[in-house]
Amino acid sequence: MKPRDLSDLALRNLREAILRNSLTTLGIAVGVASLVAMLSLGVGLQQLASKRLSQSGLFDSVFVTPRVNLRGMGRAAMPPSSDQAPRLLDESARQEISRLPNVVEVYPQVRFFTEVRFDGKPFATMVAGMPASSKASGSFDGMQGSFFSGDAAYETILQSEFAKELNAQTSTLIGKDLVLRYAERQSIPPNPMDSKATSASNSESLPGGFSVVPKEMRLRIVGVVDTEPASGFGGYGNGRLLIPLQVAMTLRAAQVNDLRDIVRGTSSAPTFASLTVRAKGPAYVEALEASVKNMGFGAFSLLDASKSLATFFRVLDMLLGIFSSLALFVATLGIVNTLVMAILERRREIGVLKALGASDRDVKQLFFFEAGVMGLFGGIFGLFLGWLIGRALNFGTNFYLHRRDLPSVDISSVPWWLVLFSIGFAVLVSLVAGLYPASRAARLNPVEALRYE
C-alpha cells in the first residue's frame, strides 16, 4: 500500500474508535507531560544554578598568584614543579595572561576600607573595584539605575544594604554625589597634581621619600544593586561601594597601606598580590589554568567543584527522567492494550483486507501507523501539558518567593532539544508498543477471521 492510503486507513480506524483511542493518546500525553515537566524542572534548576554560579565568577575564573608566595621559606629545597622560573606578577605578566586564548579579562582584586561622606555624615565602608566584564556577568541584572558609563568614570554603584544606611529610599540616591576620602602618598619633592590625577604610579618611580596627604574624590551614584557582585573568590568580604576597577586601581596605588608593595618590589614597577583571570566559560578554565602555571605563576580554580556540580545535575536529570519514564511505560501498556483490543474487534476487517490482497506487511504497517499517530499526538499534547505544569510550578515558586521579598527565578525551562526529544520519544515508545499488536494482526489467519459466524 502507498503511504498515503496507509495513513488514510489508519486515521480512519483511529477515528472509528475515537473515545478509546483518545483515552489511550491521553495516557501517552500524561506520560510525556510528566517527563517534560520533570526534565524541564531539571534543566531549569541547572540553568538557574549555573547562572548564579557563573555570576559569582567562581567557575569561570582562574586565580593567579606569584609562585614565590606559594613557596614557604623553609621549602626552598623543593624541586620546581614547573620548568619555568618563578616570575613577578606585574603589569607585563597581566598583559601576557590576557593574550591567552579564551580570556575575557584579567584584573586584580582591589578592595580597601575607607570612609565616605554623604549628606555631611561619615560612613565607613569597603570599596571594591569592578572589572568591565562584570557588567555582562548578570550580577547587575535587575539593578536600580545603570552600570558605570565608562571604565574610568567617577561613578559608584551601591550595594543595597549600604545604600539603605545612607537613605532608606534607595532609589532617591541615584544621581546624587558622595565623597570618598582617602590618603594619597605624595613623593618628595611634592608633585603638585590634582587629586584626580591618574599618574600616581609615575611618582612611585621616584626613589625619594613621600608624605601622606588626605584627599577627597567626588563620585556620582549611578545605581543600587541587590546582589553582591563583588563577593567573588578571595574571602575579602563584600564590597559595599562599587567603583570602576580602573578608578579603584588608581586609588589603591596611592594608598599608604600599599607600602609593602614598594618594599617588596625588586624593580620599580608595582606588582599584584593576585590576579583574577575570567575565562569565556567554565569549559576553558582547565586549559587556562595549565597555561598560567606554565608561565611560572601559581594558579588554581574551582573546576573540580563545578565538575561535580555538573555530575550532580546529570544524575538528577537521570533520576527525574527515570521516574517520569515510568508514567510513559504505563502509557505504552495502554497502547498495547488498545491495539490488541482493536485486533479482536477488527478480526473480520483484517480478514477482508487480506482476502482483497493485503499482505502481512500491509496489515502490520497499518497497526504500526496507528500506534505512531497516537504517539505523535500524545507527544505533542503531552509536551504542551508538561510545559503548562512547568509554568504552574514556576508560578507557584515565584509567588512564594515574592511573598518573602525574594527575587523571582525561572525554575523550569523547555529547550528545543526537549521538544524534539519528548515528541520523538513518545513516537518511538508507541512504535515499540505497537510491535507486538502489529505482528499479531499481521499473522492473523484470514480463513479463520472470515469464517461465517
Partner 1 sequence: MPNGQPAIRLDHISRHYTMGEAVIRAVDDVSLDLPSGEFLALLGSSGSGKSTLLNLIAGLDRPTSGAVIAHGQDLSTVSSLELARYRRQTVGMVFQSFNLLPRMTLEENVELPLRLAEVDRSDRAARVHEALERVGLGKRITHRPGELSGGEQQRAAIARALVNRPKILLADEPTGNLDSATGESILMLLKEIQKNPGMTIVMVTHERPLAERFADRLAVMGDGKLLSNGAAR
| Residue 17 Cβ vs partner 1, minimum distance, rounded to whole Å | 10
90 binds partner 1 (CB under 8 A): no
Q: Does 380 bind partner 1 (CB under 8 A)?
A: no
Contact map string, positions 421 to 450, toward partner 1, x by CB under 8 A: -------------------------xx--x
Interface with partner 1, residue 317, by CB under 8 A = no
Candidate ranges 39-47, 219-227, 325-333, 343-351; the one touching partner 1 (CB under 8 A): 343-351
Q: Tell me whether residue 314 or residue 361 sits nearer to partner 1 (CB atom).
A: 361
At its nearest, how many Å lie between partner 1 and the CB of residue 23? 20
Query: Is there binding between residue 278 and partner 1 (CB under 8 A)?
Result: no
344 in Cβ contact with 448 (< 8 Å):
no
356 binds partner 1 (CB under 8 A): yes
Residues 3-42 that bind partner 1 (CB under 8 A): 5, 8-9, 12, 16
Tell which one of 359, 392, 399, 424 touches partner 1 (CB under 8 A): 359
# of chain residues touching partner 1 (CB under 8 A): 25
Q: Is position 2 an interface residue for partner 1 (rule: CB under 8 A)? A: yes
- Member of 96, 105, 226, 360 binding partner 1 (CB under 8 A): 360
- Nearer Cβ to partner 1, position 2 or 99? 2
**Contact characters 389-428, partner 1, x per CB under 8 A:** ----------------------------------------
Smallest gap from residue 446 Cβ to partner 1 (A): 5
Q: Rank residues 181 and 348 by Cβ distance to partner 1 and give the closer one.
A: 348
- Candidates 136, 256, 355, 388; binder of partner 1 (CB under 8 A) is 355
Asked if 352 interacts with partner 1 (CB under 8 A), we say: yes
One-letter amino acid for residue 247 of the chain = V
| Cβ distance to partner 1 smaller for residue 416 or 452 | 452
Residue 348 as a binder of partner 1 (CB under 8 A): the answer is yes
> Which of 336, 355, 320, 357 has the alpha carbon at shortest distance from 440?
336
- State the minimum distance, in angstroms, from the CB of residue 377 to partner 1: 21
Encode the chain in three state secondary structure. CCHHHHHHHHHHHHHHCHHHHHHHHHHHHHHHHHHHHHHHHHHHHHHHHHHHHHHHCCCCEEEEEEHHHHCCHHHCCCCCCCCCCCCCCEHHHHHHHHCCCCEEEEEECCEEEEEEEECCEEEEEEEEEECHHHHCCCCCCCCEECCCCCCCCCEEEEEHHHHHHHCCCHHHHCCCEEEEEEEEEEECCCCCCCCCCCCHHHHHCCCCCEEEEEEEEEEEEEEEECCCCCCCCCCCCCCCEEEEHHHHHHHHHHCHHHHHHHHHCCCCCCECCCEEEEECCHHHHHHHHHHHHHCCEEEECCHHHHHHHHHHHHHHHHHHHHHHHHHHHHHHHHHHHHHHHHHHHCHHHHHHHHHCCCCHHHHHHHHHHHHHHHHHHHHHHHHHHHHHHHHHHHHHHHHHHHHCCCCCCCCCCCCHHHHHHHHHHHHHHHHHHHHHHHHHHHHCCHHHHHCCC
Which of 96, 261, 349, 410 lies at the binding interface for partner 1 (CB under 8 A)?
Answer: 349
Shorter beta-carbon distance to partner 1: residue 214 or 357 = 357
The single residue among 1, 28, 29, 64 that binds partner 1, judged by CB under 8 A, is: 1
Q: Which residues bind partner 1 (CB under 8 A)?
A: 1-2, 5, 8-9, 12, 16, 348-349, 351-362, 446-447, 450, 452
